[in-house]
A and B are shown apart, each in its own frame.
Chain A
Amino acid sequence: MAAEDVTVLESPPNMAALFARAALTARGRSGDLPGTRLARRGVTVDAGNLAGYARVCGFPLGDTLPPTYPHMLAFPLQMALMSDRAFPLALPGLVHVRNTIDVVRPIGAGESLDLEVWAERFASHRSGATVDLCASVSAGGAEVWRSRSTYLARGAKAPAGAPEADVTVAVGDLERSVATWRIPDDAGRRYAAVSGDVNPIHLSGLTAKAFGFKRAIAHGMWVKARVLGALANRLPESFAVDVGFRKPLFLPSTVTLATAQAGGGWDAAVRNAKSGTEHLVGTIRPL
């Protein structure tokens, strides 16, 4: 990517305003992915926000960032990219179907970080099209963390010649659930408060209905964070965590976590405690 395609932002964009812009400009989008990259330089983590995030996601508070925390820094930039008129897909209705994070090394809470986000892999899917929102986080010039979020736009069409979407996350047998989580109906609001992800589908039954969901649904990245929080002290130093978000997790719900050691890391699944409906399956492997 040419250097002139990178736009450096001085401060994180306002997420509520981005959601509003994205909703108002949803119609009539088309075309290919923009080549724009958005970046921020010398970002430091706010200690209060980190403590709140750790509490909501079940991570211990310490001097190392939770493996999902850099997403808090990158997501607002990805939102800015997706809400921009040049982005070919309408943000309302995009469904997060897969998320991969590589923790290259543990990141200290006091480190100065450089972020860069971009969109790529516009792909066709049996029920629409997918796009990947990527992020790279560096410290002192070396990449320490990267992520890839795959979003599905139902009914959308990828450009001619687009590759097939890759949304499969395969896990081994996960028959033994190790924990039961009672997830309260305000889980979406609590995560929104620390993440700034105020997507209405997570906030209340009423706002979720407006977007076609029968009840509010949990943030996928929160469920992923809870899985990693449950394994926090048993994770490799450097690892890749790849999860597929299956059926929406409606709030409130009682779900189970199943884990099994696999490939030097873990396989995990989050399922509805009664019906067994799969909400998340994931793999954690050493890098």
Chain B
Amino acid sequence: MASNSKPATRKAAIVGGNRIPFARSNSTYAQASNQDMLTATLDGLVARFGLQGKEVGEVVAGAVLKHARDFNLTRESVLGSKLAPSTPAYDVQQACGTGLEAAILVANKIALGQIESGIAGGVDTTSDAPLAVSDDLRRVLISLNNAKSVQDRLKAIARIRPGMIAPEIPRNSEPRTGLAMGEHAQLTAHEWEIGREEQDELTVRSHSNMAAAYDQGFFDDLVTPFLGLSRDQNLRPDSSLEKLAKLKPVFDKALPEGAEATMTAGNSTPLTDGASAVLLASDEWAAEQGLPVLAHLVDAQTAAVDYVHGGEGLLMAPVYAVPRMLARNGLSLQDFDFYEIHEAFASTVLATMKAWEDPAYCKEKLGLDAPLGSIDRSKLNVHGSSLAAGHPFAATGGRIVASLAKTLHQAGPGKRGLISICAAGGQGVVAILES
């Protein structure tokens, strides 16, 4: 259960962030491993904040698609980085919520005084993805490995069938429903009557906001070029409603007969490779190091929904998480200067906002007396989000935390921002930042 009051603790400061530009799958970063990208990203952060040879309290990061050999991915990346080798590290994984969850974990240890500084990050590659042998073949190979006699070995080998040889390729689908995430999102879009045009409009705004932010130099101290790439490869500054309108809908398999498919490759995030990292600290540590404090992580919340049997949409968990966090902090949905709602799909952002505006849904599903109400769209994803940048699953949280912290810092003291990230498995991770 979520607690109703907050214990007296200090708030963790966000000092800054670093990420590599995000690349489209099987493109510029096709040869780069998760460890290569995370190490490069950590080293960029080290260079930016003068952490060469220094020990930070903890490095927490993760990847959604991970090779078995990468069981200690974050620690291995730290050992390959310019950070002191005495820096502890561990891996986390909460699907697309990984990056934000990592930041929350680091912030909580700072809040409790267990560490003074920490780095939260995430990385994903869909190019250098792990392939697994089929489950049947895996069982045969294990018994072959355990076989003591030649006879046992031959018996094990005899169980191999040609059909077992094909490798299993990781799929972006839910194990319990067999549906791709996009197919789930399309069901939700249909249910909430999210039209094609409003999805395309949100997409165009994401691209134009991010292109403008790059042009203004907003990302100069947030992004370090990698392997020749200096901007997100998916970014289309010239994206337009006309161009997006030409794209064919995808993800229509699960829709009921006659329902209109509205989601396209344009208003959905593409498979992407990339990494991000955020430096968090106590105010005292930041001051000692002569480093800035952009914002503080004030509070965070996770939620999950029963998208399998319960009739809720796969990506609707943040809708539940936000009101719980708002109540605990005595805030309304309108008490924010900036909103960062992760654009897994344009329809996800639109369905999230529509749900918060819906009195019946807010009462029945969220147990609220009144709807949370609407969001001023001019405060939403002001420097672009995942539709433009792309979405290397675990790297998205770090991208958003660093960008929002900088946005709040630029806006001046006392500004407040809300982060909402949906994740596979029907989960959501949300947080409040304040400058």
What residues of chain A have their CB less than 8 Å away from a CB belonging to chain B?
47-48, 51-52, 55, 60-63, 109-110, 232-233
Contact of B32 among A48, A61, A110 (CB under 8 A): A61
Tell whether, in the assembled complex, residue B227 and residue A60 are in contact, meaning their CB atoms are under 8 Å apart.
no
Residue of B nearest to A51 (CB): B31
- Which residues does chain A contribute within 8 Å of B33, judged by CB atoms? 61
Tell whether, in the assembled complex, residue A47 and residue B228 are in contact, meaning their CB atoms are under 8 Å apart.
yes
Cα(A47)–Cα(B30), bound, Å:
11
- Which residues does chain A contribute within 8 Å of B43, judged by CB atoms? 62, 233
Tell whether, in the assembled complex, residue A48 and residue B31 are in contact, meaning their CB atoms are under 8 Å apart.
yes
What residues of chain B have their CB less than 8 Å away from a CB belonging to chain A?
31-33, 35-36, 39-40, 43, 79-82, 225-228
25 contacts between A and B (CB under 8 A): A51-B32, A52-B31, A60-B35, A60-B36, A60-B39, A60-B40, A60-B80, A61-B31, A61-B36, A62-B39, A62-B40, A62-B43, A62-B227, A63-B40, A63-B225, A63-B226, A63-B227, A63-B228, A110-B228, A232-B80, A233-B43, A233-B79, A233-B80, A233-B81, A233-B82
Tell whether, in the assembled complex, residue B227 and residue A47 are in contact, meaning their CB atoms are under 8 Å apart.
yes
Cα(A109)–Cα(B36), bound, Å:
15
- Closest chain-A Cβ to B83's Cβ sits at a distance in Å of 9
- Tell me if B's interface is mostly helix, strand, loop or mixed: loop
Q: Which of A62, A109, A110 has the most CB of B within 10 A?
A: A62
- Closest chain-B Cβ to A97's Cβ sits at a distance in Å of 31
Cα(A47)–Cα(B40), bound, Å:
16
Cα(A109)–Cα(B35), bound, Å:
19
Contact of B227 among A55, A61, A233 (CB under 8 A): A61
Which 9 A-B pairs rank lowest in CB-CB distance, beginning with the nearest? A51-B31, A61-B36, A62-B40, A61-B32, A60-B36, A60-B39, A233-B80, A60-B80, A233-B82
- Which residues does chain B contribute within 8 Å of A61, judged by CB atoms? 31-33, 36, 227
- Closest chain-A Cβ to B9's Cβ sits at a distance in Å of 35
Tell whether, in the assembled complex, residue B80 and residue A109 are in contact, meaning their CB atoms are under 8 Å apart.
no
Cα(A52)–Cα(B80), bound, Å:
18
Cα(A60)–Cα(B43), bound, Å:
12
Cα(A60)–Cα(B226), bound, Å:
13
- Which residues does chain B contribute within 8 Å of A232, judged by CB atoms? 80
Residue of B nearest to A50 (CB): B31
Residue of A nearest to B85 (CB): A234
Residue of A nearest to B225 (CB): A63
- Which residues does chain B contribute within 8 Å of A63, judged by CB atoms? 40, 225-228
Residue of B nearest to A229 (CB): B80
Residue of A nearest to B78 (CB): A233
- Which residues does chain A contribute within 8 Å of B35, judged by CB atoms? 60
Cα(A233)–Cα(B43), bound, Å:
9
- Which residues does chain A contribute within 8 Å of B81, judged by CB atoms? 233
- Closest chain-A Cβ to B124's Cβ sits at a distance in Å of 16
- Closest chain-A Cβ to B404's Cβ sits at a distance in Å of 27
Q: Which of A48, A55, A61 has the most CB of B within 10 A?
A: A61
- Which residues does chain A contribute within 8 Å of B228, judged by CB atoms? 47, 63, 109-110
Cα(A52)–Cα(B81), bound, Å:
21
Residue of A nearest to B46 (CB): A233
- Which residues does chain A contribute within 8 Å of B79, judged by CB atoms? 233
Residue of A nearest to B53 (CB): A234
Cα(A52)–Cα(B82), bound, Å:
23
Tell whether, in the assembled complex, residue B36 and residue A62 are in contact, meaning their CB atoms are under 8 Å apart.
yes
